[in-house]
Structure 1
């Protein structure tokens, strides 16, 4: 299973380090990523023109991959804006305001709700479902926007996605690669998932509370893009507001039922939420603006799309670079990787696994590292089969612990790439909350590392 590392692998690894370093120093990484794309193209093709073309093609590839997320975020923001302008949102949030009375409750209630919904429908639809309703509640009790983003991201794309207890997409992939039943992976993952989740979220909350006390985080929360003064909707009566405030949760609840009955997951589930949001926006706009409803509907869409592409603009170069680490390389630059290459990031994971001694302690550390490396492409799922394969090899040498090693690799890959650390992978939560994905990645970094260390140590004792 050994793989020969080429100059392309070392260049990619170098720029991963540079990107992380620039992020830690709060500097923009777009130029670093573009230079990395150019150098990878130059080394692969030996042509300046081809490397330059590769920059543009990588942007196109990234936009195509991210377009679904861009659209649903834009639509949710457009819908959120009309709910705010008409006052419907105020009526919707009153029941939650009684439950969320301070920043502490806001962080944990939002996080636990996010985790629960994400187990059944995966995080991206859950972010869309929760964002329009719970964010204003958090603002009123003083929980800053970044705190809401951290809660939704860590509980959804971290705990729920890495465990995947209900849909079981992740454990199915890793168990098949490891050659063991999916039930074994699920059982072994329970103590690891909850250790990782509890330690990481507590650490994140403590850091958040510390910075709130210091006054280094702004408390106000505003997920609505700047609008022109013309957006002054006619006043709706109390009864009309209550009607729409009741209709909207019913429609989204119907979405949840439909997802369950026809087994919609991932992108399809997100699309259903997005389509429902469009219908809600159109109905409210036509009812509110009467004969001007046609024009105002289009205006709200434009505002939402402007917001979406403004948020995603800085992330496209980073996404383009990370896609080169996986399946995007061949489509963007051509077939220039070694014959038996699994993709740059997977090759790096295999290379790491092939040079370490085999025992429970080193095996645990290596599986965490391999999972984290394969998660650097930002999908989380692309490398978990490799983690399962390496767990199988390690367990064969150690003599036991295959389920624990498999679960550990799965958790590390998805926490890093699924994602709570790779900036473009956590855009849904960041965009809904109106915060920078880079800032969210920086805030997640130390808590996630603490969690991974603790989980890895626990795995050593469980093997």
Structure 2
């Protein structure tokens, strides 16, 4: 069935603005997201039945997309409960407390470690690895849980993923769309990634320190993984020390295996989740012996309860934004007009074609296109569009295609890859036990400031 494209895109933009407004006002966005899905469906199909059924279908699509992340977070949380209850957590982190002595050091050490691991294995498995080992250390050093989440998020899903210098998945996509070699995008992105990373992480740290001094962040003692938790199922000292040695060793072996066997993305995340599950089982059986069978199930239930409690409010808003890309066709079928590249990408193309061309406007447009296409929470779905639009502007300008391509890539991934869109930054939020919407709000000013500075910097490179 044909539809009026402008109406559909207008409805989508209207509800995006409404969701952003609700976030700014610190109000829940679930209701407006659900209404948005229904109205999008009705606008596209003209059928009340299809639009109502589309709400449920969009939830199924969102849960399917998020399920691997949900599952690994649940298992990591369950494992962390076991390690805390048995005292292994305390024994494991004690040596590290001598290296991370204060909140400032904790923020930068965790961030740099996260960035390095993310370069090789991407941020999702890196979050699980870094969070499981370093989170309790940071809390003991005085860095609040939200600070740990910010550090892992900005350095991993921001700096590491936007440059993607090792795996080169992002620059390969943008370079292909722009019709230039991958090496050109990599070289052009280096100064932009450095500027964006420095401005964003320093600004975020300044805001965090200011709020810590004013008492506006939750104290570490309220955290689910607090190192001060009492030991409920003590182990013999020798067994506890052995497990405290084996846990980080097993995760280190995961890192080596990822590198040796070229495990990326979902495969790497699965390896981390499986390792955490084995640690959970062995630790529980050693601590509870004959009651271990029941306790394994108990800890898994605790992990799943925590995971779905965190993800519950996120699924409706994720379902809405997935409608801006491939999720729309999956839920409502082939109802978009011929030539449409998806709602979000159509908006990006329209923006590029309605703006006059000079280097300042070109840089601002590529950043805007990156931000808009990043709103679907993927980060990667819109970077090919950024490459194509960079090619259009560079042709008109006569130069700067690599810089414009890199700028669009950075904007799309910083927004959609996991620093501003709440459902995309869930891994870091869930591992740290903080509200993903609060993490998104805390990242907002640093990332916006970083994008503005990076865009202005890019203008001088064109």
How would you bin the TM-score normalised by the shorter chain?
A: over 0.9
Q: Identify the residue that residue 394 of structure 2 maps to in structure 1.
A: 395
Residue 95 (structure 1) shift: 2.4
Runs (4+) off by over 6 Å: none
Which deviations, in whole Å up to 9, do the C-alpha atoms of 1:407-460 show, x marking residues without a partner?
Answer: 000000000000111110000001111111111111111110000000000100
1:8–1:44 contact (8 Å) kept in structure 2? yes
2:84–2:225 contact (8 Å) kept in structure 1? no
Q: Identify the residue that residue 125 of structure 2 maps to in structure 1.
A: 125
2:133–2:248 contact (8 Å) kept in structure 1? no
Residue 234 (structure 1) shift: 3.6
Alignment of 1:25 onto 2:19: no
Aligned-partner Cα distance in 1 for 2:406–2:357 = 18
Output aligned runs, 1:300-449, within 5 Å.
300-449=299-448
Q: Identify the residue that residue 88 of structure 1 maps to in structure 2.
A: 88
Residue 96 (structure 1) shift: 1.9
Residue 237 (structure 1) shift: 2.1
Aligned-partner Cα distance in 2 for 1:89–1:176 = 46
Aligned-partner Cα distance in 1 for 2:236–2:261 = 37
Residue 337 (structure 1) shift: 1.3
1:421–1:441 contact (8 Å) kept in structure 2? yes
Q: Identify the residue that residue 182 of structure 2 maps to in structure 1.
A: 182
Output aligned runs, 1:78-227, within 5 Å.
78-220=78-220, 224=224
Alignment of 1:450 onto 2:411: no
Q: How many residues are paired up? A: 457
Q: Identify the residue that residue 293 of structure 1 maps to in structure 2.
A: 292
Q: Identify the residue that residue 254 of structure 2 maps to in structure 1.
A: 255
Q: Identify the residue that residue 45 of structure 2 maps to in structure 1.
A: 45
Which deviations, in whole Å up to 9, do the C-alpha atoms of 1:118-161 show, x marking residues without a partner?
Answer: 11111010110011221111211221111111111000000000
Aligned-partner Cα distance in 1 for 2:335–2:345 = 16
1:77–1:224 contact (8 Å) kept in structure 2? no
Which deviations, in whole Å up to 9, do the C-alpha atoms of 1:64-116 show, x marking residues without a partner?
Answer: 11110000000000000000010101111122211211111111111111111
Q: Identify the residue that residue 281 of structure 2 maps to in structure 1.
A: 282
Note closer, same or farther for the CA distance 1:183–1:198 as it changes in structure 2 (3 Å cut). same
Residue 235 (structure 1) shift: 2.0
* Secondary structure of the structure 2 residue equivalent to 1:340: coil
* Secondary structure of the structure 2 residue equivalent to 1:422: coil
Aligned-partner Cα distance in 2 for 1:370–1:96 = 43
Note closer, same or farther for the CA distance 1:359–1:449 as it changes in structure 2 (3 Å cut). same
Which deviations, in whole Å up to 9, do the C-alpha atoms of 1:363-400 show, x marking residues without a partner?
Answer: 00000000111111000001101101111111111000
Aligned-partner Cα distance in 1 for 2:92–2:338 = 57
Aligned-partner Cα distance in 1 for 2:448–2:269 = 29
Residue 183 (structure 1) shift: 0.7
Aligned-partner Cα distance in 1 for 2:37–2:234 = 52
Aligned-partner Cα distance in 1 for 2:388–2:458 = 17
Q: Any gaps of 5 or more consecutive residues in structure 1?
A: none
Which deviations, in whole Å up to 9, do the C-alpha atoms of 1:259-292 show, x marking residues without a partner?
Answer: 1111111111001100111111111111111111
Aligned-partner Cα distance in 2 for 1:222–1:290 = 30
